[in-house]
Amino acid sequence: MKKTKFNEAHYVLKGKMIEFCGWDLPVQYSGVSAEHVAVRTSGGIFDVSHMGEIFFRGPQALDAVQYLTSNDAAKLIPGKVQYSGLMTEKGCFVDDLLVHKISDTEYFIVVNAANLEKDYAWMKSKTTQFDVEVINESADYAQVAIQGPKAGKLLAELTNTDLAAMSYYTFTKGEVMGMDAIIARTGYTGEYGFEVYIKDDAQKASKLFLELCQKGEKYGVVPVGLGARDSLRLECCMALYGNDIDDSHTILEANLAWILKLQKGDFIGKDVLLKQKEAGIQRKLVGFEMIGRGIARHGYPVYVDGQQFETIGSGTMTPFLKKAVGMTYLPIGKTEPGSEFQVKIREELVTAKVVATPFYKFDQKSI
Amino acid sequence: MSTKDLKFTEKHEWASVNGNIATFGITDYAQHQFGDIVFIELPTMGKSFSKGAACANIESVKAVADMYAPVSGEVTEVNSSLENAPEQINKEPYGAGWVCKVKMADAAELDSLMDESAYENYVKSVEEK
């Protein structure tokens, strides 16, 4: 099993370790619910080093990124981050990712751990016509996310970077505990927070993780495992590859038209998506809440008017809102808030209804 | 509640016996493995289960698992307070977190269950794996 550079810290903190995408990572420390609520009310520290870091370098770096992704990377200025889709020819997802523009000739892309090898191979094979080097530097990087209302206060104790001046989806190079770092105001929790990338060795990295936990104590900031990472992202309706987005649903069906810029130049999947936009989609990803007793989970069959229609994308009982919620695809005509459908939970059909998303919206005033 | 008179299964359920009525629950080890329990589907009153059959369904934020009947019997009572407070199972797995009571079909089945010390050794052996 692969170990992140923070691995030693998880054992010091007595995290409950599991294998995730080939990595030895904590699913929880104190408990999923407590960790989830801590992030919403004060903050959490996450090891997200399993995510992949791929660099595009060269005179045609932008052209390559534009050709591979759905969003308009030409809109980025150095220091800006963009959420985007790595598209198949059919306008579906190879993966979703974050594009960071370092300069006109250098982009830093963060992808899902589960898709890293696939993404890297795809990116290399589809950009041979461009003067660009695509380099997988994932093994060099450790990534720690500090998320929640107190994230800025905590991180400020370990860096001179003016964190308060950073707006959402920007990044900067800086130093954290004396280590060179990329500091980004991004995250996967729906909270105010930062993601910090460092290249130092495991010993220094673990020390940083433990220092964050120790300094975080007085703010109520705690280490958080993969369990709460999933419930946090679902509560604010951030899609998870393999659950809510995949290579068989298009970006339009996934309700992610805001990261699709059809007016930009040519890119993989554009033709299909142009046609689909014109013709209209037949199904759409929605958020739902259970009406009957039960929790709809990933893979449970969905029934619309007595007929099975696909399966649940994501579902859980959210620890903060204390509601059984989820995301799933429904046929057009059944996707309006209030629309009811059924989920088969252990051989019984339980009623759910479409609700407005996100389930949880971050409150700026709470920082 | 004292656990010294309880009987235990390899699937980490417990049973306590009073006359021909057995009370079922999950063990402290099981609730730790689950993490925060957020939902329980209780058995239906009057339903009969054979030993080892799934009789309740327990969910934490991440995991879903069945609870299996330690012995055969007919459900005479369920702990409906768990529907609104499933976390009782985490807090008091051997007390307020009990799941259901059954009228035993065959009290001899109890002999196949572990006593407390045997169960403690069993948990140790599981953890070492």
Single-letter amino acid, residue A147 = Q
Pairing of strands A106-111, A179-184: unpaired
**What predicted TM-score, i.e. pTM, was given to this entire model?**
0.91
Mean pLDDT (whole number) for B54-83: 92
The reply to whether A229 touches chain B by the CB within 8 Å rule is no
User: CB–CB of B36 and A34 under 8 A?
Assistant: yes
pLDDT in tens, A127-163: 999 999 999 999 999 999 999 999 999 999 999 999 9
CB B54 within 8 A of CB B42: no
Q: Exposure of A331 by Cβ count < 10 A (0-12 exposed, 13-18 middle, 19+ buried)? A: middle
3-state secondary structure of B41: strand
Which helix (H) or strand (E) segment holds residue A120: the answer is helix A116-126
pLDDT in tens, A88-132: 999 999 999 999 999 999 999 999 999 999 999 999 999 999 999
pLDDT of residue A239: 96
Mean pLDDT (whole number) for A1-6: 97
The reply to whether A227 touches chain B by the CB within 8 Å rule is yes
pLDDT in tens, A40-80: 999 999 999 999 999 999 999 999 999 999 999 999 999 99
Retrieve residue A104's tokens.
């006109």
User: CB–CB of A324 and B39 under 8 A?
Assistant: yes
pLDDT of residue A277: 97
- pLDDT confidence band for A171 (50 / 70 / 90): very high
Retrieve residue A170's tokens.
């920007």
Closest by Cβ to B39, choosing from A36, A227, A317: A317
Q: What is the largest CA-CA distance in chain A?
A: 61
Chain A residues touching residue B36 (CB < 8 angstroms): 31-34, 319
In angstroms, the separation between the Cα of residue B107 and the nearest Cα of chain A is 30
Interface predicted TM-score of the whole assembly (ipTM), two decimals: 0.76
Q: Is the pLDDT of residue A165 over 90?
A: yes
pLDDT of residue B2: 75
- pLDDT confidence band for A367 (50 / 70 / 90): low
List the alpha helices (DSSP H) in chain B: 28-34, 81-84, 88-91, 116-128
pLDDT of residue B1: 59
- DSSP assigned state of A259: G
CA angle in degrees (0–180, nearest 5) for A35-A36-A42: 80
Q: What is the largest CA-CA distance in chain B?
A: 40
Q: How far apart are CA A309 and CA A329, in angstroms?
A: 8
The reply to whether A324 touches chain B by the CB within 8 Å rule is yes
Question: Domains of chain A by range and CATH?
Answer: 7-49+141-235 (3.30.1360.120), 52-139 (3.30.70.1400), 282-367 (2.40.30.110)
Q: Within 10 A of A270 (CB to CB), how many other CB atoms are there?
A: 19
What are the residue boundaries of the structural domains of chain B, listed by start?
Answer: 7-124
Classified by CATH at the fold level, domain B7-124 comes out as OB fold (Dihydrolipoamide Acetyltransferase, E2P) (2.40.50)
Closest by Cβ to A346, choosing from B57, B60, B61: B57
Q: Is the pLDDT of residue A331 over 60?
A: yes
- Beta bridge partners, A354, equal A288
- Candidates A54, A52, A55; CA nearest to A4 is A52
- DSSP assigned state of A245: B
Count Cβ neighbours within 10 Å for each residue of A111-120 and write b for 16 or more, e otherwise. bbbbbbeebb
